Amino acid sequence: MENEISIFMARIIALIYIPLGIAMMTGQIKAKEMFADYEKSSVTTLFVGIFAVIAGTFLATYHNIWVKNWTIIVTILGWVAVVEGVLFIAFPKPALNVGKKISKNEKAWSFFALIVGLILGYFGFIA
On whether residue 82 sits in a domain, the answer given is yes
On whether residue 92 sits in a domain, the answer given is yes
On whether residue 81 sits in a domain, the answer given is yes
On whether residue 21 sits in a domain, the answer given is yes
On whether residue 126 sits in a domain, the answer given is no
Residue 108 has pLDDT above 90, yes or no: yes
On whether residue 125 sits in a domain, the answer given is no
85: nearest Cα among 57, 39, 52: 52
Q: 39 with 121: CB under 8 angstroms? A: no
The predicted pLDDT at position 100 comes to: 86
Confidence of residue 2 (pLDDT cuts 50, 70, 90): low
Q: For the chain, how many structural domains are there in total?
A: 1
Give burial (CB, 10 Å; 0-12/13-18/19+) of 76: middle
Confidence of residue 99 (pLDDT cuts 50, 70, 90): confident
* Tens of pLDDT, residues 11-53: 999 999 999 999 999 999 998 888 888 889 899 999 999 999 9
On whether residue 127 sits in a domain, the answer given is no
Q: Which domain holds residue 74?
A: 4-120
On whether residue 108 sits in a domain, the answer given is yes
Can you tell me the distance from the alpha carbon of 42 to that of 88, in angstroms, rounded to the nearest whole number?
A: 10
